[in-house]
Amino acid sequence: MSTLPVASRPRLVFLRALIWGMIGLIYAPLFLALQTGFQGLGLGQGASIPAAALAGAIGAAFYGARQVALAGAVVGLLVASGLFFALPPPIPLWQVVLGAAVVGAALGGVVRFPDRCSHNLPGKALAGLVTGAGCGGLLSLAQGLYPAGFNVAGALAFLVAVNGVLYVASVRWWVGLVGLRRGQACNLVEALVISVLAAAAAGSLWVVSGPLIGIVAEPFLDAIEVLLRQIPVALLGGVIGGALAGALLQAFELRWAHDL
């Protein structure tokens, strides 16, 4: 039985809802961009599965990596900004993503972060990958049964809420399955996490600012314009889904994952 004072429980529900709402802000545009990319590769409705899996894994890494995650995001933004000024337009997305990933991996191999920043990240990322793929599969199946399609906000609210609850409920099992002993392969994990998050941040900056500064080739402008029009609605769905997940997690007193 919980020993928390009754007055503190609503505050914790609000706090956890706020935290997960912010996680939804990160997840929503990432999923939307990945889904658009996989649809461009011809996956159709099945694009939700790899998009949700990758968004779940990246979101879990960002949520669990602390200073390492912030370092990856900063590196990605700085590298992308430098390439925007250094390279002649148009600049392909792959060059920006690859450059940020290489610099991020190099930084992760050289700089020493606190050990717990990357401790258990493989298990956390795998938990996000698996639960994300499962939620994406459910969404893809539902979309197949409902040809008219779902509103972007509703789809994102579902993904963030269900994925968040499943992630917290299962992450300790995944960490126990693939967890590393403290210090084991720490630099390799940090390098990989910084590389992935730097690539994601750089790609996001290319999508958002590329059309404004004229570095995106003409064939991609229409697709990016459609994507950017959907982002505000997707953000709303992500925030609502995240807040719902956080409130449910605290209401049912599921353990926080920050101590892993």
* Cα–Cα nearest to 186, from 260, 119, 111: 119
Mean pLDDT in residue range 90-113: 88
In a domain, 221, yes or no: yes
In a domain, 16, yes or no: no
> What's the confidence (pLDDT) of residue 1?
42
Q: How many helices (H) and strands (E) does the chain have?
A: 8, 0
| pLDDT tops 60 at residue 137 | yes
In a domain, 201, yes or no: yes
d(CA 117, CA 22): 20
The pLDDT-based confidence of 151 (bands split at 50, 70, 90) is confident
Q: What percent of the chain has pLDDT over 90?
A: 23
In a domain, 207, yes or no: yes
| Domain ranges, residue 87 | 28-151+162-230
253: left (phi over 0), alpha (psi -120 to 50) or beta: left
| pLDDT tops 80 at residue 227 | yes
| pLDDT tops 70 at residue 180 | no
> What's the confidence (pLDDT) of residue 179?
61
> What's the confidence (pLDDT) of residue 147?
67
pLDDT digits (tens, 9 = 90+) for 247-256: 888 887 777 7
| pLDDT tops 60 at residue 3 | no
In a domain, 126, yes or no: yes
Better-scored residue on pLDDT, 181 or 249: 249
Mean pLDDT in residue range 225-237: 88
In a domain, 204, yes or no: yes
| Count of domains observed in the chain | 1
What is the residue-wise DSSP string for 114-135? Answer: PGGGTTTHHHHHHHHHHHHHHH
Cβ neighbours of 212 (radius 10 Å): 8
Give the chain's end-to-end CA distance (angstroms, integer): 22
Average pLDDT score over the chain: 83
Better-scored residue on pLDDT, 135 or 40: 135
d(CA 85, CA 78): 11
Do 257 and 125 contact (CB within 8 A), yes or no?
no
d(CA 122, CA 126): 6
In a domain, 196, yes or no: yes
In a domain, 112, yes or no: yes
pTM of the model as a whole: 0.83
